Structure 1
Amino acid sequence: MTQKSIAAPEHKAETGASREIAPAFAEFMHAFEAFKQTNDERLAAVEGKAAGDVLVEERLERISEALGDQRRRLDGLLIGKARPALGGAGFAAGASGEHKDAFHAYMRSGDDRALRALDTKAMSYGSGQDGGYLVPHETEAAIGKRLAALSPIRGIASVRQVSGAVLKKPFALTGPAVGWVGETAARPETTSATLAELQFPTMEIYAMPAATASLLDDSAIDLDDWITGEIETAFAEQEGVAFVAGDGINKPRGFLDYDQVGESAWVWGKLGYVATGVDGALPASDASDVLIDTIYALKAGYRQNAGWVMNRKTQAAIRKLKDADGNYLWQPPASPGSRAMLMGFPLVEAEDMPDIASNATAVAFGDFGRGYLVVDRTGVRVLRDPYSAKPYVLFYTTKRVGGGVQDFDAIKLLKFGVS
């Protein structure tokens, strides 16, 4: 089979995925119109103080679920369309062909002689016997791009690559003393700034995809694309949990793991929150007021790039809210690939955010690009293991990732509690 015959089906599949996006977006918008009509019926019954129609409530929940499902399907189509092509002439032109060929030989047969000739055996940071080989740079870049599309917090946070095990970032607790003086007045000596340091250690995340001998023997299989596709979801799911609620022990520290205080008592090192005033719920009337309070708890310099983060259940509850003029606070994306909007700010759906419950901080709002930092240590390593699960060949794939809050002023939380 020629290279041309291999590439052709991939091109057709991509074109087919592109054709699916427009009708999927149209279905999503149609579902949102049905949702608004049904919710208006429910609100009219509530305002008329009539008993709630169970059938209307059930229909509203079904439509809301369908709306969420269609949004995720649309996101999946957009991610598939945006995936970088790892095979073909474009890849070969920019790749280190020698490293790529050597890596493929190792993947298919375990022959690492060419890799040894190119580079010394890559040992893991904590344990030398774990070993492994670096994947080609292009494959590592493709993994990073796909993770940014699949991992919601990574997609909005700052991402920095480092070559060491820990990123140390200094920050000023107090600035130098300054003041106004006359043209000929004496200048008093200024005190120096007080500095402290944030540390972001990188922790190991791993996946272990399995391959059959027939898959490895098939020369038509693009091994770069295969291993990227196998590990992307596993890495993204683990990252998603850690970036939201990780405890920082052998994993990144999530922003919800930091100490939380009421906004009036906020100090550096803690995240401020606005309380709804109702235990485990939004206020029964003027619920939009607490959202407005959350928006304006954030300083003006952060608001221009701010956005909401919540899970789908919380989004479903907020989607029903209207402002005083009868307009829905939640608005669908204006076009395929854009985000839904809540009160004029983009909304990111992160399934690892907590549900609405007593004293839960189920909604976050802020400039995550300035507030949260993801640290990637360069290099994705693969260790071939043909022995542990015979007749399958396991590929122990690891990368090192860290993360944490870098600006405690840039993220605010909405707490579903009295205070």
Structure 2
Amino acid sequence: MTDTQLTAPEIKAAPETITAAFDDFMEAFEAFKETNDRRLGEIEKKMTADVVTREKVERINRALDEQKRIVDHMALKAARPALAGGADNPEAAEHKAAFSAYLRRGDESGLRALEEKAMSIGTPADGGYLVPPETDTEIGRRLSAVSPIRALATVRQVSGAVLKKPFAAAGMAAGWVAETAARPQTGTAQLSELSFPTMELYAMPAATAALLEDAAVDVESWISSEVDAVFAEQEGTAFVSGDGTNKPKGFLDYTKVADSGWSWGSIGYIATGAAGGFKPSGPADTLIDVVYALKAGHRQNGTFVMNRKTQGSIRKFKDAEGNYLWRPPANAGNPASLMGFAIAEAEDMPDTGADSFAIAFGDFRAGYLVVDRTGVRVLRDPYSAKPYVLFYTTKRVGGGVQNFEAIKLVKFAES
């Protein structure tokens, strides 16, 4: 086998267990370090790396990304709880049975006895029924696993259409005073009001009558599996780059300014100093700068957010002592880390390029707020698409930045 061919750590049969998948991932990382060290050694000796070595590093890097994806997928699958939870609760079991009858046969009598028909704010005739608590919880849990920003952010449940949140951008004033000196009045905190409206997110999967009549099919599980993927995809995009029109406002959609000129209401950024990439010399300096751009109280809870492609490019960085800044997770299901801070992979983050904001770092628990209006609702429609039965499933979600000093960005530009 030549150097231009894939080596053993890069080619693996599909692992049967998460332990085997994680072992494959760690083996690939060791191969990556060995090959990248060779590339760096060639650059040091000859001022350039051999093309074969560069290509091999990139191949192993891509293989490493794919094996990390496999590990994450298997960990997520293992962590998903069964939908049938709550069977020991008679009230929950009754609701589940009534809801199943509604989905399968359109029988509303059981649900009518348990809850009033839900009407939307603007259209009092389209109705629908609340999903049983077990199914509602399951959809939310899967979204947390798939949408990284939801998992990092603060999540609030509301019963109304808008959450209004007061925020003190500056605290009260205080001062030292002599024992007998006058005590003049100090400044008071100035409160501002942040508004987070909830927007409607919907999906409308279809099923045949034969599927609904098949007693072996768990209809609730089917709805969850159909809905959670599309909801997570839409949410993940909106929390990152949504424009706030009929969707949450993403943290990349706010006004962005150089951190030296930061003010409340905008997101500060640190420039890499090179157009479309990192500086050739000391590329990791930008990452250090963005970490220390956060105040200590937020920095200790910091998380890097970037897509998988960007993560692959920074995996090659080393510190002054020759240690890799990117570290693999300690075990399956945990995130990788960069300079000791966790990395959240968000594929909705942009790729590195001219003037792009491909990396975010911040305390997202303090910085970003996700607002869920209580309840996922399902309206059964057997008429509009015969012979299919449509399930109009809706959820109201909002989101936006609640603390503008808790999130910083990296801009791939000279300034």
Q: TM-score, normalised by structure 2?
A: 0.93
Question: 1:415 maps to what in 2?
Answer: 411
> Relative to 1, partners in 2 of residues 1:184 and 1:116: Cα closer, same or farther, differing over 3 Å?
same
Give the distance between the partners of 2:172 and 2:33, measured in 1 at CA: 55
Using the TM superposition, give the Cα deviation of residue 392 of structure 1 relative to its aligned residue in structure 2, in angstroms: 1.9
> Relative to 1, partners in 2 of residues 1:18 and 1:400: Cα closer, same or farther, differing over 3 Å?
farther
Q: Which of 38, 42, 45 is residue 48 of structure 1 equivalent to?
A: 45
Question: 1:59 maps to what in 2?
Answer: 56
Question: 2:370 maps to what in 1?
Answer: 374
Between 47-56 and 57-66, the greater mean CA deviation after superposition: 47-56
Q: Any residues of structure 2 matched to 1:104-115 within 5 Å, and which?
A: 104-115=100-111
Question: What is the DSSP-based 3-state SS (H/G/I as helix, E as strand, rest coil) of the residue aligned with 2:304?
Answer: strand
Q: Which of 93, 98, 103 is residue 88 of structure 2 equivalent to?
A: 93
Using the TM superposition, give the Cα deviation of residue 417 of structure 1 relative to its aligned residue in structure 2, in angstroms: 0.5
Using the TM superposition, give the Cα deviation of residue 170 of structure 1 relative to its aligned residue in structure 2, in angstroms: 0.4
> Relative to 1, partners in 2 of residues 1:51 and 1:159: Cα closer, same or farther, differing over 3 Å?
same
Using the TM superposition, give the Cα deviation of residue 50 of structure 1 relative to its aligned residue in structure 2, in angstroms: 5.8
Q: Deviations over 1:224-245 (max 9, x none)?
A: 2221111111111101100000
Identity %: 64
Give the distance between the partners of 2:186 and 2:15, measured in 1 at CA: 62
Contact 2:303 2:362 (8 Å CA) reproduced = yes
Question: 1:265 maps to what in 2?
Answer: 261
Give the distance between the partners of 1:125 and 1:21, measured in 2 at CA: 46
Question: 1:77 maps to what in 2?
Answer: 74
Give the distance between the partners of 2:349 and 2:100, measured in 1 at CA: 39
Q: Which of 162, 184, 188 is residue 184 of structure 2 equivalent to?
A: 188
Question: 1:251 maps to what in 2?
Answer: 247
Question: 1:14 maps to what in 2?
Answer: none
Give the distance between the partners of 1:174 and 1:37, measured in 2 at CA: 50
Contact 2:284 2:317 (8 Å CA) reproduced = yes
Contact 1:18 1:81 (8 Å CA) reproduced = no
Contact 1:307 1:365 (8 Å CA) reproduced = yes
Q: Which of 163, 175, 178 is residue 179 of structure 1 equivalent to?
A: 175
Question: What is the DSSP-based 3-state SS (H/G/I as helix, E as strand, rest coil) of the residue aligned with 1:197?
Answer: strand
Give the distance between the partners of 1:26 and 1:40, measured in 2 at CA: 21
Give the distance between the partners of 1:240 and 1:50, measured in 2 at CA: 42
Q: Structure 1: which amino acid aligns with 2:20?
A: P
Q: Structure 2: which amino acid aligns with 1:413?
A: L
Between 36-45 and 283-292, the greater mean CA deviation after superposition: 36-45
Using the TM superposition, give the Cα deviation of residue 97 of structure 1 relative to its aligned residue in structure 2, in angstroms: 2.1
Question: 2:275 maps to what in 1?
Answer: 279
Using the TM superposition, give the Cα deviation of residue 53 of structure 1 relative to its aligned residue in structure 2, in angstroms: 2.9
Give the distance between the partners of 2:29 and 2:170, measured in 1 at CA: 50
Give the distance between the partners of 1:175 and 1:51, measured in 2 at CA: 54
Using the TM superposition, give the Cα deviation of residue 105 of structure 1 relative to its aligned residue in structure 2, in angstroms: 0.8
1:404 paired with 2:404, answer no
> Relative to 1, partners in 2 of residues 1:318 and 1:250: Cα closer, same or farther, differing over 3 Å?
same
Q: Deviations over 1:167-220 (max 9, x none)?
A: 100012443443233334333234443211001100010111222222211212
Give the distance between the partners of 1:214 and 1:300, measured in 2 at CA: 59
Q: Any residues of structure 2 matched to 1:148-167 within 5 Å, and which?
A: 148-167=144-163
Q: Which of 329, 333, 336 is residue 329 of structure 2 equivalent to?
A: 333
Question: 2:234 maps to what in 1?
Answer: 238
Contact 1:242 1:251 (8 Å CA) reproduced = yes
Question: 2:31 maps to what in 1?
Answer: 34
Unaligned runs of 5+ in 1: 1-16
Question: 1:288 maps to what in 2?
Answer: 284
Q: Structure 2: which amino acid aligns with 1:318?
A: I
Q: Which of 296, 301, 319 is residue 300 of structure 1 equivalent to?
A: 296
Contact 1:385 1:395 (8 Å CA) reproduced = yes
Which structure is higher in helix share? Answer: 1
Question: What is the DSSP-based 3-state SS (H/G/I as helix, E as strand, rest coil) of the residue aligned with 1:394?
Answer: strand
Give the distance between the partners of 2:171 and 2:362, measured in 1 at CA: 24
Q: Deviations over 1:241-287 (max 9, x none)?
A: 00000000000000000111111101111111111111111010111
Give the distance between the partners of 1:68 and 1:262, measured in 2 at CA: 32
Give the distance between the partners of 1:242 and 1:160, measured in 2 at CA: 17
Give the distance between the partners of 1:364 and 1:50, measured in 2 at CA: 32
Q: Which of 194, 216, 239 is residue 198 of structure 1 equivalent to?
A: 194
Q: Which of 119, 126, 131 is residue 123 of structure 1 equivalent to?
A: 119
> Relative to 1, partners in 2 of residues 1:190 and 1:51: Cα closer, same or farther, differing over 3 Å?
closer
Give the distance between the partners of 1:197 and 1:244, measured in 2 at CA: 22
Between 358-367 and 108-117, the greater mean CA deviation after superposition: 108-117
Give the distance between the partners of 1:130 and 1:18, measured in 2 at CA: 48
Give the distance between the partners of 1:357 and 1:414, measured in 2 at CA: 11
Using the TM superposition, give the Cα deviation of residue 117 of structure 1 relative to its aligned residue in structure 2, in angstroms: 2.5
Give the distance between the partners of 2:276 and 2:122, measured in 1 at CA: 44
Ranges of 4+ aligned residues in structure 1 off by more than 4 Å:
none
Q: How many residue pairs are counted as aligned between the two chains?
A: 401
Contact 1:339 1:348 (8 Å CA) reproduced = yes
Q: Structure 1: which amino acid aligns with 2:28?
A: A
CA RMSD across the alignment = 1.7
> Relative to 1, partners in 2 of residues 1:137 and 1:301: Cα closer, same or farther, differing over 3 Å?
same
Question: What is the DSSP-based 3-state SS (H/G/I as helix, E as strand, rest coil) of the residue aligned with 2:405?
Answer: coil
Question: 1:24 maps to what in 2?
Answer: 21
Question: What is the DSSP-based 3-state SS (H/G/I as helix, E as strand, rest coil) of the residue aligned with 2:184?
Answer: coil
Contact 2:240 2:252 (8 Å CA) reproduced = yes
Using the TM superposition, give the Cα deviation of residue 362 of structure 1 relative to its aligned residue in structure 2, in angstroms: 0.6
